[in-house]
Amino acid sequence: MTEHFNDIVIGSGSAGAVVAARLSEDSGRTVLLIEGGPDYRQANLPADVLDGTGPCTTSHDWGYQADSGIGGRAVPYLRGRILGGTSSINTAMALRGTHQDFAEWVGKYGATNWSFEELLPFFNKLENDTEFHGAGHGADGPIRIYRSPFGEVVPIQAAFESACVELGYKRIDDFNNPDTDTQSGVGPCPFNVTPGEVVRQSTLIGYVEPSRDRPNLTIVADHVADRVLFSGEKATGVVTSNGGVQIEFTADRIIISAGSIGTPALLIRSGIGPIDQLEALRVEPSVVREGVGRNLREHVFTPIILRGLPEVCGAADPNVQQIMRFTATGSEEANDMQMLMLSNLNMGGALGRGGGEFMPALYPGLQRPHSTGSVALASTDPEDAPIVNLGFLSDPWDRERLAEGVRLAIDLAETAALGEATDGFIDFDPEIAEHDDSIQEYLDATVLPGFHASGTARIGTGEDPMAVVDGELRVHGVSNLYVADASVMPNIVRANTNITTIMIGERAADILRRLG
């Protein structure tokens, strides 16, 4: 017999786990949470998933490859396949989107009721900020926020901060301060980890673990969502695949929270998407929405690797502690750039420069890309990886700004502070700064994603042909179907996307509970 629920949430990541946990607070509401990866009790989580000192890249990944959009160059594209989704494997940097990000959502994209002032209560609701308090921060939320969770700042990170100050950037203690969130400067990065043991505070730990024993919450793991079921224009259920066996669940409402890669893939398999995709896959159209899988926004970085001195750099150092935000020359978007110092970048992996060796790297990144990518399908098999094209640097302004980031990285490396901590560059000639063509060639060969995909099912009005959901996250053209994850962002925020995505989950749950 097919099981029926009030709400089905597909995907247990940064947003989906939040939605399921909050909806199940209503004891009279039955909620099903579906996850394509495994489920663990917190006590049984693998060590690499618990370790918040850096990203977990060795397990619990969907194994995607993405086309960078530059000469067919492919890059690994990490997405968490585990309860908690990518929040269970990421770097746990807890930066919020800024006032200006959400003002654009409202003013340019018609995302009514998504201004920063309306969203601040949901940012506050998710967090337990142990260092900063007051109206701009939360004190009793499920996600703990620390800025110095690793103990003392390690030498390479201290040298990076000193180098930024040496170049004239001021120190900022709280990048999440709502009154100063567009100021440029360097300072401690907030993290959603515990101090001391440094456990990554995923939505599995923060939201699902305290909720999982509720009798009205059912968790089904290792089930890949195949397609949403419809009766006419009304969404009625979902078909999942578990070891090749298909299982059907029905519900009064369906909430897709499969992430900016998984959500458009599921929509297309369900008959909602661009007409060329539906026809090529021979999927019967339910609703033609050209924006499904389009408008992929992603932060783009390029590594400048330094030879770290043994007494300054250690393989066990936290990956990131300090962060610098700055505005590109001539940009009208404050803090459209980010600079990190990675304590121990793996020279293998995506860099392909041999395995086992770790070195520090300056990591300039573009936070407000104008280039866009896409997600498409080669088949309707839910286990087949989607076709992800990141579309990097197709816009000349993106190239110009990231090149400026490379030049700034060179200047930082040549400061007294970093000069005393490192011994020159590895596989990098700083003279490329003197030639635009050389910098562009370097970018083409080295750019990497921030793993912050967003925008592939964005908010907008029904008259906007590229919009997929309205301001209350309802999918245009059908009923009882919602999307709640980073894919609804009209444009990417100028911050790591995890905390904003958790906020979207909080906001979505509030909307759904209000709607009944």
- 396-413 vs 436-446: helix axis angle to the nearest 10? 100
Range of the domain at 403: 154-188+300-368+393-446
**Domain assignment of residue 106, yes or no:** no
364 plus 325 within the same structural domain: yes
Dihedral of the CA atoms 55, 95, 205, 267 (nearest 10)? -80
Cα torsion angle, 19, 21, 14, 187, sign: positive
Share of the chain above pLDDT 90, in %: 88
**Domain assignment of residue 135, yes or no:** no
206 plus 86 within the same structural domain: yes
Residue with tokens 């850096």: 54
**Domain assignment of residue 132, yes or no:** no
**Domain assignment of residue 487, yes or no:** yes
Burial 217-236 (b: 16+ CB within 10 A, else e): bbbbbebbbbbbbbeeeebb
88 plus 211 within the same structural domain: yes
What residues of the chain score a pLDDT lower than 70? 1, 347-356
Q: pLDDT value at position 350?
A: 47
177 plus 312 within the same structural domain: yes
Q: How many domains does the chain have?
A: 2
By the 8 A CB rule, do 57 and 351 touch?
no
By the 8 A CB rule, do 80 and 60 touch?
yes
**In this structure, what CATH number is given to the domain that contains residue 166?**
3.30.410.40
By the 8 A CB rule, do 280 and 378 touch?
no
Q: pLDDT value at position 54?
A: 87
Q: pLDDT value at position 26?
A: 97
Beta bridge partners of 129: 145
Residue at which a domain ends, from 431, 446, 461: 446
325 plus 430 within the same structural domain: yes
- 116-126 vs 498-515: helix axis angle to the nearest 10? 100
93 plus 239 within the same structural domain: yes
435 plus 311 within the same structural domain: yes
Measuring CA to CA, how many Å separate 412 from each of 116, 164, 329, 393, 406? Answer: 33, 7, 17, 24, 10
Q: pLDDT value at position 347?
A: 65
**In this structure, what CATH number is given to the domain that contains residue 509?**
3.50.50.60
312 plus 169 within the same structural domain: yes
By the 8 A CB rule, do 216 and 9 touch?
no
Q: pLDDT value at position 346?
A: 72
**Domain assignment of residue 265, yes or no:** yes
242 plus 278 within the same structural domain: yes
410 plus 512 within the same structural domain: no
**Domain assignment of residue 109, yes or no:** no
Which amino acid makes up residue 76? Answer: P
pTM of the model: 0.97
pLDDT tens by residue, 78-123: 999 999 999 999 999 999 999 999 999 999 999 989 999 999 999 9
3 plus 86 within the same structural domain: yes
**Domain assignment of residue 509, yes or no:** yes
325 plus 357 within the same structural domain: yes
**Domain assignment of residue 136, yes or no:** no
